[in-house]
């Protein structure tokens, strides 16, 4: 958990590094990436530009395959849609 927060802080501090944070192709979902003890952790998020530079984290997974599973991206997109629908 500390390593994930450390990497998020690096991105917030302005570090540009696709190994830490990148936009998933064809979506509005972004992925925070952390490698720790041979495990790949992914935290999915999106921007709410109506609140300045507000980032909403949707969910996290321990990645076990080379490619990010489509069902995990779909879940993050569903959470994003629900978030904006609830906001009105």
pLDDT digits (tens, 9 = 90+) for 11-59: 888 888 888 899 999 999 999 999 999 999 999 999 888 876 788 889 9
What integer pLDDT is reported at residue 52 of this predicted model?
Answer: 67
Q: How far apart are CA 43 and CA 39, in angstroms?
A: 13
- pLDDT, residue 61, reads 94
The answer to whether 68 touches 42, Cβ cutoff 8 Å, is yes
Q: Which residues pair with 22 in a beta bridge?
A: 31
Q: Is the pTM of this model over 0.75?
A: yes
- Angle (nearest 5°) at CA 74 between 29 and 39: 75
């Amino acid at each position: 958990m500390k390593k994930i927060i450390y990497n998020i802080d690096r991105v917030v501090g302005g570090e540009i590094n696709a190994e830490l944070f990148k936009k998933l192709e064809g979506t509005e979902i972004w992925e925070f990436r952390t490698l720790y003890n041979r495990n790949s952790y992914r935290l999915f998020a999106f921007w709410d530009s109506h609140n300045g530079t507000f980032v909403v984290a949707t969910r996290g997974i321990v990645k076990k395959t080379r490619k990010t599973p489509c069902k995990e991206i779909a879940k993050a997109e569903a959470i994003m849609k629900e978030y904006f629908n609830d906001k009105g």
